């Protein structure tokens, strides 16, 4: 019987060759029978057990994106754990140039809404002088907590709160659809519901069951140093790993544009 090479087998072979390992190397590391990986790569094994694939991927030191691609090619649903330090470092390296070139607040979030990296304009927007929070304190801070918890001094400065916070909840529900079955998802929402503002809007949006947009259409009107600024918020997920996304905050009016220019000028001359 003639066997056709499966997309999964072809991808495994490419991955193995990229990592410079022989079939025998992988078979020994993954505790497989001699010749099994060859049969798998050639399409003679159409539906390997998930555990077998996981052992092969571990032997190849496959990254999350590689693991996800191979498992999905064989028809398996892939989990999405909170990124580890190695994956975070990779994500930062991927978006560093984009953050550096942005002329308005721009930052990197993971699926747990942790702030991982940002450009110099981001603290200008979210850190209030003469408070306990410093720019370095943003590292891995939950953006949800930063926005909804009044202790971080952002929530009281939102001037269009009645429109902005419901829009953020709708965007959150949309973005988190693919993560509902992850163990960490329930913990994240339960923790945020300890924040009264979040809990109120979360419950309200759940009762109303409104249409969920792909991204919030409501801008953020915020007071920064007694000046009203207006930003749009645009979320762009990584194609390579949907657990990461870059958030762009472009100005929504001329006054805010000028303030971003001033911040950039101050940074250059600091």
Same domain, 204 and 248: yes
- Which value, to the nearest 10 degrees, does the dihedral of the CA atoms of residues 54, 57, 62, 65 take? -50
When pLDDT is averaged across residues 135-144 and rounded to a whole number, the result is: 90
Same domain, 223 and 152: yes
Q: Residue 264 belongs to what H/E stretch?
A: helix 254-268
Q: Residue 1's pLDDT is what? A: 47
User: What percentage of the chain exceeds 90 in pLDDT?
Assistant: 71
Same domain, 59 and 173: no
- Which value, to the nearest 10 degrees, does the dihedral of the CA atoms of residues 254, 109, 122, 194 take? 100
Same domain, 102 and 189: yes
Same domain, 213 and 246: yes
**pLDDT confidence tier of residue 30, bands split at 50, 70 and 90:** very high
> Is the pLDDT at 66 greater than 50, yes or no?
yes
Q: Is residue 1 part of a domain?
A: no
Same domain, 139 and 69: no
Q: Is residue 78 part of a domain?
A: no
CA distance 149 to 142: 10
> Is the pLDDT at 215 greater than 60, yes or no?
no
CA distance 147 to 249: 14
pTM value is: 0.81
Count of domains for the chain:
2
Q: Is residue 32 part of a domain?
A: yes
Same domain, 94 and 159: yes
Q: Which two tokens stand for residue 72?
A: 């999905």
Q: Is residue 214 part of a domain?
A: yes
CA distance 26 to 187: 37
Q: Residue 5's pLDDT is what? A: 79
The CATH number that applies at residue 105 is 3.30.450.180
When pLDDT is averaged across residues 168-181 and rounded to a whole number, the result is: 88
Using DSSP bridges, classify how beta strands 227-231 and 220-224 pair: parallel, antiparallel or unpaired: antiparallel
Q: Residue 195's pLDDT is what? A: 94
**pLDDT confidence tier of residue 270, bands split at 50, 70 and 90:** very low
Spell out the alpha helix ranges (H) of 131-160. Answer: 143-148
Same domain, 23 and 151: no
Q: Residue 252's pLDDT is what? A: 95
**Is residue 121 within 8 Å of 260, Cβ to Cβ?**
yes
The rounded mean pLDDT for the chain is 90
Same domain, 255 and 137: yes
> Is the pLDDT at 48 greater than 60, yes or no?
yes
Q: Residue 220's pLDDT is what? A: 95
Q: Is residue 26 part of a domain?
A: yes
Beta bridge partners, 229, equal: 222
Same domain, 232 and 261: yes
Give the sheet arrangement for strand 106-110, strand by strand. Answer: 115-118, 106-110, 244-248, 234-237
Range of the domain at 214: 85-268
Same domain, 11 and 58: yes
Same domain, 63 and 121: no
The CATH number that applies at residue 66 is 1.10.260.40
């Amino acid at each position: 019987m003639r066997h056709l090479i499966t997309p999964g087998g072809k991808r495994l072979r490419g991955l193995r060759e990229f990592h410079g390992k022989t079939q025998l190397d992988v078979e020994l590391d993954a505790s497989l029978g001699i010749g099994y990986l060859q049969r798998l790569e050639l399409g003679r094994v159409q539906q390997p057990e998930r555990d077998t694939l996981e052992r092969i991927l571990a032997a190849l030191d496959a990254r999350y994106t590689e693991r996800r691609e191979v498992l999905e090619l064989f028809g398996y649903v892939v989990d999405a754990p909170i990124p580890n330090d190695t994956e975070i470092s990779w994500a930062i390296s991927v978006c560093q140039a984009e953050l550096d070139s942005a002329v308005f607040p721009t930052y990197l979030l993971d699926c747990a809404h942790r702030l991982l990296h940002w450009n110099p304009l981001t603290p200008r927007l979210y850190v209030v002088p003469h408070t306990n929070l410093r720019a370095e304190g943003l590292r891995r801070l939950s953006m949800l907590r930063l926005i909804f918890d009044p202790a971080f001094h952002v929530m009281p400065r939102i001037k269009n709160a009645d429109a902005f916070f419901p829009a953020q909840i709708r965007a959150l529900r949309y973005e988190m659809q693919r993560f509902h079955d992850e163990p960490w998802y329930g913990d994240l929402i339960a923790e945020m519901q300890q924040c009264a503002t979040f809990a109120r809007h979360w419950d309200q949006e759940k009762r109303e069951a409104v249409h969920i947009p792909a991204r919030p259409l409501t801008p953020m009107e915020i007071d920064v140093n007694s000046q009203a600024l207006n930003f749009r918020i645009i979320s762009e997920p990584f194609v390579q790993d949907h657990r990461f996304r870059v958030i762009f905050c472009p100005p929504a009016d001329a006054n805010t544009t000028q303030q971003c220019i001033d911040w950039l000028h101050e940074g250059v001359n600091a």
